[in-house]
Structure 1
Amino acid sequence: MNIKGKLLIIGGKEDRSDNHIEMKECNSKFSPYEILRLLAASNNDRIEIITTASSEPEDLKKTYTETFSKLGFNNFGFMHVCDGSENTEYIERVRQAKTVFFTGGDQNRICETLVKSPIVQLLKDKYNNEEGFMVAGTSAGAMCMPEVIISEAENGEAILDNDIDLGNGLGLLNYALVDTHFVHRGRFGRLSHAVLLNRDLYGLGLGEDTALLIEKGHLATCKGSGMVVVISAKEVTQTNVSKASEGSPVYAENLKVHLLTDNCRFNFEEGKMDTVSQSNDTKSI
C-alpha cells in the first residue's frame, strides 16, 4: 500500500521550553527545536494536540503553547479526550487538521480510551490517504502508535520470563514495537524481550530529543541530538524465550542491533540502512 501520510515518533524530553537537553552542550550537530519544527510545513498548518495520556493536561497546554509560539506556530489547539469519543467536535477538528500530536504520559490511557474510537479510524484513513498529513507522538504518545505496545515492563539486569506485558496499540505502525527514553532509562532488555516474543517485528528504541520521521510507511529518517536503536530478532538462532519458566533469565543468539543518528535512514521493507547524509557527504552503508 502506498501510504501518503507521515509518522513522527519522538523518544521524549524533546527540546521545548521546560526541558534541559543534556546533548545540547556536547553534540556539535545540535539544532534547536529540530524535531518539533517537523510538526508543520507551514506556520499556519493546523495542529491538534491530544493530551489524553497525561494526568496534568493543563501543564502540558502551557508548555506547548510557549514552545509553539517560539516556533512561530499560530494555528493549534488542545483536545483532552476522556472517553471513546464520539464527540463530533473532536472528530471534525481531527478531520481538518494537518497534524495530530499525542503528548506523553501513560500509553495505556491513550489506548484504553481511543483504540477502537472513530478518532483513530479517522487518523488511519487520513494517514493512509492524505498527502502530507502527519500523526506524531512523544514518549507515551509514540509508544501507543504500533499494533503491539509495551504496556508494562521491568528494567532489570536480566531479561526474566513474565517481566513484560504487551497490549493493543493504535495500529498506525505495523512492523515495529516502540520504546522511549530508551538510552537514559536503560530499556534495552525490555525492548529485546518484546521483539523476542514478536520476532516478525523490529524494536525501535528512541533516545531522548530524538525521533524517527517515517514516510511512505517504511522509510524512517532519524532526527535529533541522540540516537535510535533498532533491534531485530528475525535471525535469532537460539533462544529460550518460549520455554523459560517464570522468573528465569532469557537468552538469545544473533540478536541484531543497528544504531541510527541524525539523518540516518532505515528501510523497513529491506531491513537495512539506506544512506547516511552528514553535512555534504553521502555514503552507502
Structure 2
Amino acid sequence: MGITLPKGRLILIGGAEDKGENLVPIAPHNKQFVHLEILKELVSEKSMDDRIEVITTASSFAVEVRASYEKAFGKVGYTNVGFMDIQSITEAKNEEYLERVNKADTIMFSGGDQFKIATIISGSPIAEVICKRYKNDPTFTVAGTSAGAMVMSKLMIQSGGTNEALIDYDLRISSGLGLIEDCIIDTHFISRGRFGRLAHAVISNSGQLGIGLGEDTALLIRKGRKAQCLGSGMVVIIDSRYIEQTNVSDVEKGDPIYVDNLRVHLLVRNCQFNIRTCKLSYTNIKTENE
C-alpha cells in the first residue's frame, strides 16, 4: 500500500512575520514584498469569518503575544479569533479547549520555547485532535511561527548546536508533535546563523530533510509534500541523502564533524518544492496586492 498523505495544510513560519507594522528589515530591498502575506494564508478558503485559535503555550509573554496578533489579525480582516494559553499538561486535557480545537478552522502555535510545547501538548487529547484533523480534513490548517514551527516535526531541535564547528554531543534532539515526519525544522535561520545547527541535525539523523526558515518567510505545505515559499526572505533546504564522507558515526565527544557533498536548495517567494522528490520549480505569480 502507498503512503497515506495528510489532507490538511501546514504553514511553517520562520518567525518575525510581517504584522503590518513596517518592521521587516528586508522589506525596503525586496520588490516582491507583500504586506501581511503570510498571515493572510492562515485560512484555506480566504474566509474572514473562519475560526482561528492561537495557542500561546510556548510564550512566557502570552498577554503581549495576544495583543500583537489581535492587532495584526484586525489589519488582515479576521473577525473570529481566539487565544488559548495552555500552560500545563492538565490544561491540555481541558474539555473547553478540546471543543474549541475541534471547531477551529485554523490552529496556530506562537513562538517561544518549542520544548515547552512538546512537553505540554504532545500526547495530549488536544494534540490527538490536531493530528487527526490535519490528516483527514482538507479545510483544516495548522500553522506555527518560530518555536511553533519547529515543534511540527517528528524529530525536533531542542537546543544547542550553536558552535562555529559542528561538535558532537552539543546538539540536543527530542520529539515534536509529528505532523511532518521526514523533516527537521529550524527558524530565524539566516539572522541567527543556524546553518551549522540544522546541518548537524540532518547529518546525525539519516533520511531527514532540513528546513531552515528565514524571518518573515514561510513554507505552505499541502498534502504533506507540496511546499510553496511565502514571504520576503529565504528558505534553505538541506539534503543529506547524497553525503559521501562524514565522521558523524564514529566521532568522539567534543570532536568536530566533517561532511562531504551535502546538498542545499535556496527557495524564495513563488518557489514550489516537492519534499518527497526534492524538486524545485519557480513561477512568477503576481498577487492582487502587488
1:189 is aligned with what amino acid?
G
Q: Which residue of 2 aligns with 1:283?
A: none
Matched, 1:236 2:239: no
Secondary structure at 1:92 match in 2: helix
1:23 is aligned with what amino acid?
I
Seen in structure 2, the aligned counterparts of structure 1 residues 161 and 173 have a Cα distance that, compared at 3 Å, is same
Q: Is the 8 A contact 1:17 1:63 kept in 2?
A: no
Q: Unaligned 5+ residue runs, structure 1?
A: 281-285
CA offset at residue 17 of structure 1? 5.0
Q: 1:15 aligns with which of 15, 18, 25?
A: 18
2:14 is aligned with what amino acid?
G
Structure 1 Cα separation of the partners of residues 83 and 95 of structure 2: 15
Secondary structure at 2:29 match in 1: coil
Q: Which residue of 2 aligns with 1:93?
A: 100
**Residue-by-residue CA offset, 1:178-217 (whole Å, 9 max, x unaligned):** 0000001000000000000112010000000000000011
Q: Is the 8 A contact 2:66 2:83 kept in 1?
A: yes
Q: Which residue of 2 aligns with 1:32?
A: 35
TM-score (norm 1): 0.96
Q: Is the 8 A contact 2:53 2:82 kept in 1?
A: yes
Q: Which residue of 1 aligns with 2:166?
A: 159
Over 3 Å off, 4+ runs: none
CA offset at residue 235 of structure 1? 1.1
Structure 2 Cα separation of the partners of residues 23 and 140 of structure 1: 22
CA offset at residue 154 of structure 1? 3.0
Q: Which residue of 2 aligns with 1:4?
A: 7
Structure 1 Cα separation of the partners of residues 279 and 205 of structure 2: 19
Q: Unaligned 5+ residue runs, structure 2?
A: none
TM-score (norm 2): 0.94
Q: Which residue of 1 aligns with 2:75?
A: 70
Seen in structure 2, the aligned counterparts of structure 1 residues 19 and 60 have a Cα distance that, compared at 3 Å, is farther
Structure 2 Cα separation of the partners of residues 56 and 18 of structure 1: 20
Structure 1 Cα separation of the partners of residues 276 and 157 of structure 2: 23
Q: Is the 8 A contact 2:58 2:117 kept in 1?
A: yes
2:140 is aligned with what amino acid?
F
Q: 2:192 aligns with which of 169, 185, 191?
A: 185
Matches within 5 A, 1:117-196: 117-196=124-203
CA offset at residue 86 of structure 1? 1.2
Secondary structure at 2:118 match in 1: helix
Secondary structure at 2:127 match in 1: helix
Q: Which residue of 2 aligns with 1:276?
A: 282
Seen in structure 2, the aligned counterparts of structure 1 residues 248 and 18 have a Cα distance that, compared at 3 Å, is farther
Q: Is the 8 A contact 1:210 1:228 kept in 2?
A: yes
Q: Which residue of 1 aligns with 2:87?
A: 82
Structure 1 Cα separation of the partners of residues 9 and 285 of structure 2: 24
Identity %: 46
Q: Is the 8 A contact 2:219 2:230 kept in 1?
A: yes
2:12 is aligned with what amino acid?
I
Matched, 1:227 2:230: no
Q: Is the 8 A contact 1:199 1:232 kept in 2?
A: no
Q: Is the 8 A contact 2:20 2:36 kept in 1?
A: no
**Residue-by-residue CA offset, 1:215-265 (whole Å, 9 max, x unaligned):** 011111100000100001111011001111111110001100000000111
**CA-based RMSD:** 1.1
Q: Which residue of 2 aligns with 1:107?
A: 114
Q: Is the 8 A contact 2:270 2:285 kept in 1?
A: no
